[in-house]
Structures are given as structure tokens and as C-alpha cells.
Amino acid sequence: MSELIYLVGQISPKYEETYQWRRNLEAYFLGSPDIKLINPCANPFNEKVLKKAEYAVTREKRSFGIDVLPAKDYTYCKRSTMAIVNMNKYDPDKPLLGSSFELAYGISQCQKNA
């Protein structure tokens, strides 16, 4: 049986750790034919941030694209068969609101599939 695992957790350009734990899991499961990961950091915006390696630099808050995040996250949760959840709060200025919603979406999916 194949599993599609969504990686839930804080994402902050100021803290490299929010990306690194996902990369560690990707490396761990690399080559596993029965396990695929959904990494929400695997997108052009986050890839650009990673190339700059300016995690500790103060950035302006972005509002562009924020409105699509809940729908995107819900779609990821709906597609996945399970999740690996990291509720560490790496960025003290950023609440774990998105991760909490992803947990709720996942629980909702489990109840629908039960």
C-alpha cells in the first residue's frame, strides 16, 4: 500500500530549521517506492528564499498570495493519506495558526474516511 504523507509545520524564511526538517525526511524516504511526501515548501517562493540563505534577515510581511494558502493547504491535506507533524515554534513572531488548521483539515479527512 502506498502512502502520501503531508509535512505539517511552521514555515518561516527567518529560520532555516523550518525547511531543514522537511529536507531530512525527504532524504530519509528517498527511494522508497511506497512513500511519497507532500512538502509545502517545494514551491518557487520558498526555493527563492532558500537560494538567498538569508534566514535571519528581517523581511517585510507579504500579503500577496496569503488568500490562497488555506485552500492550497486543504487540498494537500485532502490528497494525503497521513501526515508527519512538527509543532515546534521556530519563529516566535509567527503563530502556528496554519499548522493548526492543517491538523484540523487532517482530522476532518480521517472522520470522512472512517
Compute the Cα dihedral for 50, 56, 58, 64 and give only its sign: positive
- Give all strands of the β-sheet with 3-9 in edge-to-edge order: 35-38, 3-9, 82-86
All structural domains of the chain with their residue ranges: 3-113
Closest CA to 37 of 24, 46, 45, 25: 25
Beta-bridge partners for 15: none
pLDDT computed for residue 33 by the predictor: 94
Mean pLDDT in order along the chain per 10 residues (114 residues): 92 90 96 94 73 53 60 84 94 92 82 60
pTM attached to this predicted model: 0.80
pLDDT computed for residue 112 by the predictor: 66
Beta-bridge partners for 9: 86
Burial tier of 38 (Cβ tally within 10 Å: 0-12, 13-18, 19+): middle
